[in-house]
Amino acid sequence: MVAEDDPKQAELIRRYAVAEGHVVTVVGDGRAAVDEVRRHTPDLLVLDVMMPRLDGLDVCRILRGSPGLADLPILVLTARRGEDDLLTGLDLGADDYLTKPYSPRELMARSRALLRRSRVSPATASRPLTVGALTITPATRSVVFRGLDVECTPGEFALLETLAGEAERVFTRDQLLRAVHGLDAYVSRRTVDVHVANLRKKLDPSLIRTAYGVGYSMSVL
């Protein structure tokens, strides 16, 4: 689904996505985006920030607070170039972002990466991964901590799965960035910090340890 109030931009994205075999729904404002996602949840939401009725950041916040939508991949488009603005979008639940003007080919590459991470292949749909009180099930993309279900965005799930796969190992920010966003050099390393901060809020602040100047590791709680 494409939520973009500029008809030319929306049509450009639609044409590129259709050329890759996708069925595309286009809406022109934030309220329509929320309503349409709740009616027919798409595989991916491409979301412009500056829209009427509700802006993209409000849309992210509302959708992430809606039952069953925590794992919806969301790619944000923004004309704002300040890093703090971009990281605010990630903090509210976006999985990736592009600043305008952008290359449609890069948009499609980012979209493919998000879709790959949100789909579980037979090779990854193995037995649950348990580290202390944490259990991750790739087949269902579920996270259980201390007996409670925890909803995670695709980016948060990818980071958590990487850390849990080798508990106690220190991963650099670059290694975690590749796990979450692939080999994309345009994404700030601070996106990893945002995902970690969100996971600490959802799980336990001491579950993910900081290796100062290096990166992060997972504790066994």
**Does position 126 have pLDDT exceeding 90, yes or no?**
no
Q: What does the pLDDT read at residue 207?
A: 94
- pLDDT tens-digit series, residues 98-119: 888 888 998 998 888 888 777 6
Q: Supply φ then ψ for residue 46, to 5 degrees.
A: -100, 115
Q: For 129-218, give the CATH class.
A: mainly alpha
Q: How far apart are CA 114 and CA 210, in angstroms?
A: 26
Q: What does the pLDDT read at residue 121?
A: 44
Collapse the DSSP code of 4 into the 3-class scheme (helix H, G, I; strand E, B; otherwise coil) and give the result: coil
Question: Domain residue spans in the chain?
Answer: 2-118, 129-218
Q: Which residues of 157-174 are buried (b: 16+ CB within 10 A; e: fewer)?
A: bbbbbbbbeeeeeebebe
Average pLDDT over residues 130-136: 92
Q: What does the pLDDT read at residue 123?
A: 44
Same CATH fold assignment for domains 2-118 and 129-218: no
Strand partners, 77: 48, 98
Average pLDDT over residues 74-99: 76
Collapse the DSSP code of 44 into the 3-class scheme (helix H, G, I; strand E, B; otherwise coil) and give the result: coil
- pLDDT tens-digit series, residues 21-62: 999 999 999 999 999 999 999 999 999 999 999 999 899 989
Q: How far apart are CA 203 and CA 126, in angstroms?
A: 23
Q: Specify the CATH number of the domain 2-118.
A: 3.40.50.2300
Indicate the pLDDT class of residue 153, thresholds 50, 70 and 90.
confident
Q: What does the pLDDT read at residue 83?
A: 59
